[in-house]
Structure 1
Amino acid sequence: MPANSKSTSNGCGSVEPLAASAAGLAQTTLCITGGAKTRQFTVEIARTSIEQAKGLMFRTELADTAGMIFPFPEPKLASFWMKNTVIPLDIIFIRANGTIESIAENTIPYSTTPVEAGEPVVAVLELRGGLTSELGISAGDKVVWQSK
């Protein structure tokens, strides 16, 4: 499982709770490591079906250090769309071992065309559109966060 209960020196997977987001969602620190680089984000956690259905809909901006994680209780073939989503997003599909399965970059705002994982995943991460390319984040990179 990508989430763990151990604190690390750079705050990735820290067990210290963060304040709720402006939208009222729990937040956690999430890190993506590829090669020698680790990038840290503060992400909202969309746990419930209602939170996951709304996701980042209607948001007009997303900071480069922010995002939203959609954890699933069991691996599944995840499918997302951009209905009512104003800004382009990078949609990152995360395997049970914490590695990135694939990335749908710069998804099209308001599109109802499904964006799907290529295999069962345990979580999906959404970041600002184009950010994964700008930061060099790619399939196979490792994602760590605390989901409790």
Structure 2
Amino acid sequence: MSLIRLLPLLLLMTLTGCASSGTRHWVELSGARYQVELARDDASRARGLMFRDQMDADHGMLFLHEREELQAYWMKNTKIALDILYFDEQRRLVSQQRDVPPCSAGDRCPPYPSSGPARYVLELNAGQAEKLGLKDGTEITFGPGIADR
């Protein structure tokens, strides 16, 4: 078989391999599914959603912590307003910070703490918590591939 006849097949194999290697993670909350990026280590948790101009309505970022404890997040270099949702070890909502505004004040940006110990933190576009009518105790469901450490 000539190289010209093989090119479409090679291209298809390459694209299929790329598509299957990129794992898509999701969570469900009050019947809504969100595609999430995972922040599993200190570096990715520190970077978070900094410098992003926008985020699709059905997307978010899930921060995974090694242990359950009081958490505090801030909006340093974050350009989009967010809802910051704190979940405990059993994946129940324990605290909410809604409609948190962007902050360009660097280290002078205020913290937004949880009111109770949390292990997981979900950041969504501002307004999503209200839209879903979230109440403390609401459970979050993790899709495959979001394993506890």
Q: After TM superposition, where is structure 1 displaced by more than 3 Å over at least 4 residues in a row?
A: none
Correspondence for 2:17 = none
More helix, by proportion: 2
Structure 2 Cα separation of the partners of residues 124 and 130 of structure 1: 16
Q: Please tell me whether residue 87 in structure 1 is matched to residue 80 in structure 2.
A: yes
Residue 65 (structure 1) aligned to one of 58, 67, 73: 58
CA distance in 2, matches of 1:73, 1:48: 9
| Identical aligned residues as a percent | 29
| Contact 1:59/1:87 (8 A) holds in 2 | yes
Can you give the 5+ residue segments of structure 1 that lack an aligned partner in the other structure? Answer: 1-16, 21-26
What runs of 5+ residues in structure 2 fail to find an aligned partner?
1-19
* Cα distance in 2 for residues equivalent to 1:144 and 1:102: 17
What secondary structure sits across from 2:80 in the alignment?
A: coil
CA RMSD across the alignment: 1.6
SS of aligned partner of 2:130: helix
The count of residues paired between Structure 1 and Structure 2 equals: 122
Larger Rg: 2
Aligned equivalent of 1:134, options 131, 135, 147: 131
TM-score (norm 2): 0.76
Q: Letter of the aligned partner of 2:95 in structure 1?
A: S
Contact persistence 1:92–1:100 (CA under 8 A): yes
**Residues 1-148 of structure 1 aligned to structure 2 (within 5 Å):** 19=22, 27-33=24-30, 38-110=31-103, 112-145=109-142, 146=144, 147-148=146-147
Question: Could you tell me whether the CA contact under 8 Å between 2:50 and 2:77 is conserved in 1?
Answer: yes
Cross-structure match for 2:15: none
